[in-house]
Amino acid sequence: MQTEKCASYSPLRQPYFGDLHVHTALSLDASTMGTINRPADAYRFARGQRLGLQPYRDDGSSMREIELARPLDFAAVTDHAELLGETHICNQPGLEGHDSWVCRVYRSWPRVAFFFMNLQASRGTRHDFCGENGQLCLEAARKPWQETQQAANAAQDRSSDCEFTAFTGYEWTGASGLGNNLHRNVIFKSEAVPDLPASFIDAPRLEDFWRKLEEECLEAKPGCDVLVIPHNSNLGGGQMFRSTRRDGEPILPSQARKRARFEVLVEVMQHKGDSECFPGLETNDELCAFEKLPGSNFASRFVSFLEEPPTAHQFIRNVLKAGLEEKKRMGVNPFEFGFIASTDTHMAIPGSVAESADYPGHGGAGKPPGEGIPTGLQDSIDFNPGGLAVLWAEENSRESLFAAMKRKETYGTSGPRIVLRFFGGWQLPESLCQTQDVATAGYTMGVPMGSALPNPIPLPKESQQPGFVVSALADPGTTASPGVPLQRIQIIKGWLGADGRQEVVYDVAGNPNNGSDVDLETCEPRGSGSAMLCTVWQDPDFDPEAEAFYYARVLENPSCRWSHRACLAAGVRCDEPESIAEGYEACCSETIPKVVQERAWSSPIWYRAQKQ
């Protein structure tokens, strides 16, 4: 608990920027990438301290260092529950199993161990050295789990300054079939947490996993509360948000309610791509082409014959529409998600999201370092630096931030610190943006992002349209790296019409044709933009009988992508082959954009049709 009341407290809430998806040396994949930074190091980095990165010299000193230009407000270390004990055993001489052939491979050929140890875990089984019923590895997992808790509790600023909040968490790394991602991050409200994290090996079905959270947190630990954040649905092969049971029958209302209880948020963007939407899959939205990976599952990056085309149900916008269908069928919407973004760093560097030429990558499935710093691009070129989670809360405390997550008053950005507000209501005044108090009016006359519109008060038929106020402030950046102006705000509407799932994208503020561009030789921006955008908008096509959701998407002017900055810094000129040094061949790929349009996505606001 917070021991002192936060000096910075606002009943109208404030935006706090953080990262809820962070891996350290306790995770198998991070450790096999050479990561030695641990949970306490990750929190030190998040708070603004400089951190050394792999590779390391013989004397233990790091060959690279990194520091955030702006510290984070909060973070959660979410190391994989799977193989937590196995990784600990392989790194601790004297423990039973340390000299097993598996651990010898782990220490001698770590990237080989990465594949076969993960393959074993994805099958829901443990290695023989874990002993009967896996007890040796389960017992060994206690120490890193205690370290995770201790690091979060130590990093928590309990003074009235309330400068930083650390959440205890972990990742349940489930998979379906040949590499379809079912991964979920688990975030706890307080110091009351289960004795061990529930892994995919221990709870291989989502129903088992949710039941364990109920039994081992909600029921067993006074003060324990928890939420679950699915991530990387872009690599889930459409399996992450199934609306059918294993026997092919539709899910039951009880299952839908259980999901809605735990899975209140979804990760829309991270290091391994954007999961909002995909061009041509139930949409003609060209901006859905942002930071896309090929294929439909993670395994296809390593085994090409597993690659399949992406499916509509991999992407969150389509899942939100599927939720409206489920609500119509059984009266419960299992897919009413709020949005966040994060990094999924495997180098213990939360919040490292800058599109800079010296971006070091986030590891995990990226480039493993050797004896020296890898030559060429420091990450797979189709990966990106990831995003940030933003929470609207009264103060920077665990209680206040967790409450913001539970009520879904959250949004995600692809990296910039854009400040985004989104309210919906029935009689929001058109002049709202001209006042100095959008938030007061938004809370008193409507609802914030993440909420459902209240039942409309009796209004004349011509006034029965929901209104929305959306405002955005551009990221001011830093002296060394100024922010990028805003180009426009859009509102995305999804609904269930007579012809099934529907969507439309409205430009509601700013100018998509403002002439903004980037000089690809220097990465200097050209054209105009806005430091602030705000508008009050009404749905011109509102149907009171159609269930719907609305969310805001804010777009910056174009800017150079990290990979293009790195290629320019290396002197690469694609028309001069001799300028392309080893490791920079991908710079000339025609499939990788040289510019990005960074953005923010608000959590949706839902309209629930009234029963006639």
> Residue 367: its pLDDT value, please?
62
> Residue 612: its pLDDT value, please?
45
- Asked whether the beta carbons of 30 and 350 are under 8 A apart, the reply is no
Chain Cα centroid distance, residue 27: 18
Distance CA 533, CA 530 (A): 7
Task: Assign 368 a pLDDT band (cuts: 50, 70, 90).
Answer: low
Q: Which of 430, 275, 415 is nearest to 356 (CA)?
A: 415
Give the tens place of pLDDT for each residue, 307-321. Answer: 788 999 999 999 999
- The H-or-E segment that residue 117 falls in is helix 110-122
- Asked whether the beta carbons of 29 and 80 are under 8 A apart, the reply is yes
- Asked whether the beta carbons of 78 and 270 are under 8 A apart, the reply is no
CA distances in angstroms from 295 to 180, 208, 306, 498, listed in the order given? 11, 29, 9, 32
DSSP string, 450-508: TSBPPPPPS--GGG---EEEEEEE---B-SSSB---EEEEEEEEEEEETTEEEEEEEEE
The residue-averaged pLDDT of 14-29 equals: 97
- Asked whether the beta carbons of 477 and 485 are under 8 A apart, the reply is no
Give the tens place of pLDDT for each residue, 99-128. Answer: 999 999 999 999 899 888 988 888 888 999
Task: Assign 458 a pLDDT band (cuts: 50, 70, 90).
Answer: low
- Asked whether the beta carbons of 38 and 15 are under 8 A apart, the reply is no
Give the tens place of pLDDT for each residue, 545-593. Answer: 899 999 999 999 999 999 999 999 999 999 999 999 999 999 999 999 9
Give the tens place of pLDDT for each residue, 306-364. Answer: 678 899 999 999 999 999 999 999 999 999 999 999 999 999 999 999 999 999 999 86
- Asked whether the beta carbons of 402 and 265 are under 8 A apart, the reply is no
Q: Which residues of 39-75 are buried (b: 16+ CB within 10 A; e: fewer)?
A: bbbbbbbbbeeebebbebeeeeeeebebebeebbbbb
Distance CA 396, CA 122 (A): 37
> Residue 364: its pLDDT value, please?
67
Tokens of 262: 């735990």
Distance CA 353, CA 114 (A): 25
> Residue 247: its pLDDT value, please?
79
Distance CA 310, CA 347 (A): 28
Instruction: Please provide the average confidence, as pLDDT, over all residues in the chain.
Output: 93
> Residue 463: its pLDDT value, please?
61
> Residue 609: its pLDDT value, please?
87
Tokens of 28: 């198998």
Give the tens place of pLDDT for each residue, 238-260. Answer: 999 998 887 788 999 999 999 99
Distance CA 603, CA 550 (A): 9
Give the tens place of pLDDT for each residue, 495-531. Answer: 998 889 999 999 999 999 999 999 999 999 999 999 9
| pLDDT exceeds cutoff 70 at 432 | yes
Whose tokens are 């997550």? That residue is 405
515 or 20, greater pLDDT? 20
Task: Of 299-303, 447-451, 469-473, 572-576, give the lowest mean pLDDT range.
Answer: 299-303
Chain Cα centroid distance, residue 567: 27
What percent of the chain shows pLDDT beyond 90? 84
Q: Which of 482, 590, 571 is nearest to 521 (CA)?
A: 571
Q: What is the dihedral of CA 102, 106, 107, 110, to 10 degrees?
A: 160
Task: Of 39-43, 458-462, 539-543, give the lowest mean pLDDT range.
Answer: 458-462
Distance CA 585, CA 567 (A): 9
Task: Give the angle 29-34-40 at the CA atoms, nearest 5°.
Answer: 85
**What are the structural domains of the chain?**
14-81+141-412 (no CATH), 417-558+597-607 (2.60.40)
Distance CA 499, CA 497 (A): 5
What percent of the chain shows pLDDT beyond 70? 96
Cβ contacts of 372 within 8 Å, gap of 6 or more: 55, 63
| pLDDT exceeds cutoff 90 at 289 | yes
pTM of the entire structure? 0.96
The residue-averaged pLDDT of 379-385 equals: 95
